[in-house]
Amino acid sequence: MEKGNWKALCPIGVFLVLYLGLGILFEYVMKIPMGFYNIPIVVSFLLALLVAFLQNRAVKLDEKLTIIAKGVGDKNIVTMILIFMAAGIFVGVVGRESAESVAYFLLSIIPPQFAVIMLFIISCFVSLAMGTSVGTITLITPIAVAVAKGSGFDIPLCVGTVMGGAMFGDNLSFISDTTIAACNGQGCAMQDKFKANFAIALPAALVTLAIIFAKTFGTDIGEPMKMEYNLVQIIPYLLVLIGGIVGINVFIVLIIGILSGSAIVLATGATKATELLANMGSGAAGMYETTMVAILVSAICALIHKYGGFTALLGFIRKVFKSKNNVKLGMGLLVGAMDIATANNTVAIVMANPIAKEMADEFDITPQNTASLLDTFSCVFQGIIPYGAQMLVAVSAANELGGNLSAFQVIPNLFYPFVLLISSLVFIYFVPEKKWNK
């Protein structure tokens, strides 16, 4: 059996110290707004890769480059990068106006006393269609503040509801970078992961709706919102969503979405023909950092694996998590710890993927269940940390509209992430794996 080497994990430690340490310094000591996101994460990973190169002098430089090439050239990594690009182009083509149309349409047809419930449903749908929790929060938070001011509901409640719905879609969407990273890292079909994941997320969403109803019942309310909307714009999102659920290849689904989106924005005049290609380019460019992180983490993990770092970690896991269910929890805690350190759920999944893959192989856990657990736990932690992009964007958007809000006012209203954690634990310990897969 290959010998374990704890020193091989040093590059991960270097990255965490750099990223987490500088993030705390910028955010809480120097009081720089969005401090964590002023740190160049690509540079941090490059420094970690340099440390990996300097380790283990018994392995020659050329051999290390060969190891890295094999790691980065893995079929799952290449597929992940191509899907990132295609998803970015799709979002660049369709824009965000269609999501606004959905929100305004639904809020205009329901009684105002159910406005907060509808905010959760809207956020779930929009993030499921767009594949981005941050984008959904940016889009829906101003609407949530307007609902709160016009109806009498608390602003922290409305904002927390939007964040919960956004994490629902981030966890399940076929074009979410977390789904792409988890599925390709574990080598499972997105449709299979969706089924396993949906079994956890749906009960959590239903319980969240019940909590919101109980909390908002009897509140004095004002008039419903009335804004213009164009439902034709949601067609590309629906095509992508339906295509993914029925099991069509993700590349074909995204191509259908890009083509239908292009036709609709041109036909409706939402985008000029001269701007369409530029929007495609900007959408793809928006995936640059995520793509580079995937490449660099793959390179680092290839060297760590060669040096025996994962063998040492797996040996520790065998001692601490001795049963199959406990190993599943260990996967969740692993990706959660990565997320707390990086404040980025996609990066956390990419970092945890190779370790979780070996854990799954060792304890005979299916790829779709592993991918589901990684994505779910990363969204749980990302949805509640006060320095995550989701929270920072939500608070900033609310305060720009006079919300006078802090992260710690929102956290008690983040019902969905906490219920999702409970739902995950129930499925880990009380639902047989065969039934879960069905």
What's the start-to-end Cα distance of the chain, in Å? Answer: 36
Of 407 and 197, which is predicted with more confidence? Answer: 197
Give the confidence band of 220 by pLDDT, cuts at 50, 70, 90. Answer: low
| Dist. CA 76–CA 406, nearest whole Å | 40
Give the confidence band of 47 by pLDDT, cuts at 50, 70, 90. Answer: very high
Mean of the per-residue pLDDT values of the chain: 83
| Dist. CA 236–CA 253, nearest whole Å | 10
Please compute Rg for the chain using Cα positions.
22
- Give me the phi and psi of 225, to 5 degrees please: -75, 145
- The DSSP call for residue 112 is G
Q: How many CB atoms lie within 10 A of CB 40?
A: 12
Q: Please state the pTM of the whole predicted model.
A: 0.74
- The DSSP call for residue 3 is P
pLDDT of 438 above 60: no
Identify the residue whose tokens are 């608390």: 154
Closest CA to 90 of 188, 173, 163, 150: 173
pLDDT (0 to 100) of residue 247: 67
CB 276 within 8 A of CB 262: yes
Range from 118-122, 251-255, 279-283 carrying the lowest mean pLDDT: 251-255
Residue-by-residue DSSP string for 38-102: GS-HHHHHHHHHHHHHHS-TTS-HHHHHHHHHHHHT-HHHHHHHHHHHHHHHHHHHH-SHHHHHH
Q: Which residues of 78-88 are buried (b: 16+ CB within 10 A; e: fewer)?
A: ebbbbbbbbbb
pLDDT of 160 above 90: yes
pLDDT (0 to 100) of residue 91: 76
pLDDT, tens digit, for every residue of 379-415?
Answer: 999 999 876 778 877 887 788 777 678 788 898 999 9
pLDDT of 108 above 90: no
CB 11 within 8 A of CB 56: no
pLDDT, tens digit, for every residue of 285-339?
Answer: 877 877 888 788 888 888 888 888 877 877 787 778 778 899 999 999 888 887 8
pLDDT of 284 above 90: no
Locate all alpha helices (DSSP H) within 308-344, ordered by sequence.
309-320, 324-342
pLDDT (0 to 100) of residue 1: 42
Of 163 and 246, which is predicted with more confidence? Answer: 163
